[in-house]
Chains A and B, each alone.
Chain A
Amino acid sequence: MGHAKLDSKWGYTSPGGLLRYPEEPPFPVKEYDAHYDHIFEMMEELEAKGEILIHRITEEHQPVPVYTRTGRIKLIPTNKLWHHKSCGQCGNIPGYPASVFWFMNKFGLDYLNEPHQTSCTAWNYHGSGTSNPVALAAVWLRNMHQAWKTGYYPLIHCGTSFGSYKETREQLIMNKELRDAVKPILKKLGRLTEDGRIVIPQEIVHYSEWVHAMRYRIAELYQKEGKAKGIDVSNVRVAIHNACHTYKMIADDYPYDPEVFNGQRPAASTAVMQALGAQVVDYSTWYDCCGFGFRHILTEREFTRSFAIQRKLKVIYEEVKADVIITHDTGCTTTFEKNQWIGKAHGMYYPVAVMSDVMFAALACGAHPFKVVQLYWNCSSYEPLLEKMGITNWRELKKEWEDTVKYIAELEKAGKYDQLMEFFKEYDLYEPYSRTSTGKPKASATANMPLFKS
């Protein structure tokens, strides 16, 4: 099934333009048009009253419709996106955002990747309680205002940011007291519209939804470039782990699809694996969280590793013999990745490769496993998976990456900055530069980084 079938089902459109329904619900849903949609109706009302401005998805964003749990059609913008980065991904799993950018460059999509944003700060809140809903709302609205100001549509990289932002949106729409509390702060920051309105995006969109919406184009790229390199994922057994904060927080606002487990599982991540032709395997604890726990991964690690090993890794390894666990959130990836080795101490070692959907998809489409997908950072055993996928030259590719790192380190140690700059000029040309909100390309994506100034 391609996009055309979905397009033909765009039936009723609400007066404000935010709600879209198929003529018939695509799969059995309870109260199919009655549950979460009031939020969107209220957004329209608040906009009409001049309280908020809806940052709308337009044609230039090349939206793709996807079904959510209630049958509502959510528009996923695929172009002209403002990357709301994830502190966990950028800080700890750089191949994760790099793979997203790699795809966007491959597809020739327009995007903005800039420093004028904070993380959502919700990990801190869930872990330590040292924030409050007004602060969380202010941080979110500040970041969303920045996206709106640049003319690019926000794409949220992190699962927790996505969940927190969906929840914050609902709280803001439903509670005048929260809107009243946050408005003076935004005014002080210069983060209201000229006529004093809060900017709220039409849809809050997670990167996994973008991958989901782009799955057929990714599959085409796989056929065209991945297979040509001898890569074949058809014999790879894939276990999907959906992140709690993507689909358990504001559960109705995440993709479900009749072709993915009959609409009984979240569709993102699974659908792209199916489109690539990998073998998606189901397992009994699919519903469980990873054990991350926010504060637990730092301060109660015995819980995190016990849960990760006993409830997920062991089950996935023994029950379905998966080659890889596919995730779509930093916390889950880190938890599964980093809590395997310790299992050896108790004879509970279940070595399964772990990576995000976009990292796996990039590998399938021929991205460099170390330079782009950055598997060098992974603690799980990804090597057998690479062999199975047909990426048998991974040793040479790893050496190429290691030599590059060594070369950079030596030049920096010797203080040969001019030489380093020259190297990066060529090296960065590997992919087009990302742009800043001024619209001007950076002279060199790397040369301007603060590393060189310290």
Chain B
Amino acid sequence: MEGHPYGYNIPISEKTKAVPWEEKVRVIEEVKSDFRFKEYLFGCLNCGVCTASCPSNRFFDYSPREIVQRFLEEDVEVLYDMMHEYIWACSQCFTCWIRCPFVNNPGGLVAIMREVAVRNAFEATKDLLKPYGRVLLKVMTTGNQLSADMLQPDFFPDWGPKMADNMENLRAKRMAIPFDVGKSVKTAWEVSLETAIEMYTIWRETGIFEMLEKLDPNLYNVIMDIVEENEERYQELYAEEE
């Protein structure tokens, strides 16, 4: 069957077709077993307000209504297929959530689906998140997601010539801010070493490092080098203090 008789206009991919039915059921059940699932989906009038107000719907073949409807119909094939690329169109603005008369949260469902797709190392996820590596590296190691030196003009040529001006004498510009914020270049602010160590513990205990290893082993190795180096440095400082 190509696509879906009730409106999912994207043909079911060969990738999805090749996956055993039991595996597809397992993945969708993993989504449904998330404790948030029951808080995000109540029922659906099929009114389409969510899709009408969805920014991504204006530019992508993407509809939050479809996601809600497919879950209610337990349409495993389509839901599994959506988890390759479809769900990554969502811009996580949650306009669907505030507009829904039933207070469903389609954006929240997408968050769970993305998490499960990453955890199960979907190939599409690996490709889609490749350009996101810089943010992942930054957040996993420093606790900041964005720093001044990330906005390089060659990465953002469409942002115009002022970007190049901004990067000139960047260090001096950061130092010249007369408040104790934003003075560092490689982080948004100076995150203390002990705070970073606490964050690494959180990543370890909650399986985030494992998740990353499956997603991008090379990036994982780079991150772990920095993490271990910082942990050693912390141990040394701790020993010195004692």
Contact = CB atoms under 8 A, between A and B. Distances in A.
A404 to B, nearest CB: 5
Contacts, number: 284
Contact of B172 (A296, A372, A412, A433): A412
Contacts of A90: 144, 181-182, 188-189
Contacts of A287: 53, 95
A428 B92 contact: no
Interface in A78-113: 85-92, 94, 97-98, 101-102, 113
A146 B125 CA distance: 35
A228 interface: no
A406 B92 CA distance: 41
B21 interface: no
Interface string B187-212: 11111101110110111011110011
A129 B131 contact: no
Interface in A134-164: 134-135, 138-139, 142, 146, 163
A311 B194 CA distance: 44
B116 to A, nearest CB: 8
A223 interface: no
B93 A289 contact: yes
B175 A124 contact: no
Contacts of B151: 92
Contacts of A418: none
A174 B146 CA distance: 32
State which size class the interface on A falls in. 35 or more
A124 B201 CA distance: 18
Interface string B140-167: 0001111110110000101111110010
B231 interface: no
A19 interface: no
A3 interface: no
Contacts of A86: 188
B129 A128 contact: yes
A192 to B, nearest CB: 13
A54 interface: no
Interface in B209-242: 211-212, 215
A67 interface: no
Interface of B: 35-36, 39, 53, 55-56, 58-60, 88, 91-95, 97-98, 111, 114-115, 117-118, 125, 128-129, 131-132, 134-136, 139, 143-148, 150-151, 156, 158-163, 166, 169, 171-185, 187-192, 194-196, 198-199, 201-203, 205-208, 211-212, 215
Given A135-B206, A248-B95, A450-B184, 11 more contacts: A116-B192, A131-B206, A138-B206, A174-B39, A188-B201, A295-B88, A306-B59, A341-B161, A371-B176, A409-B172, A450-B190
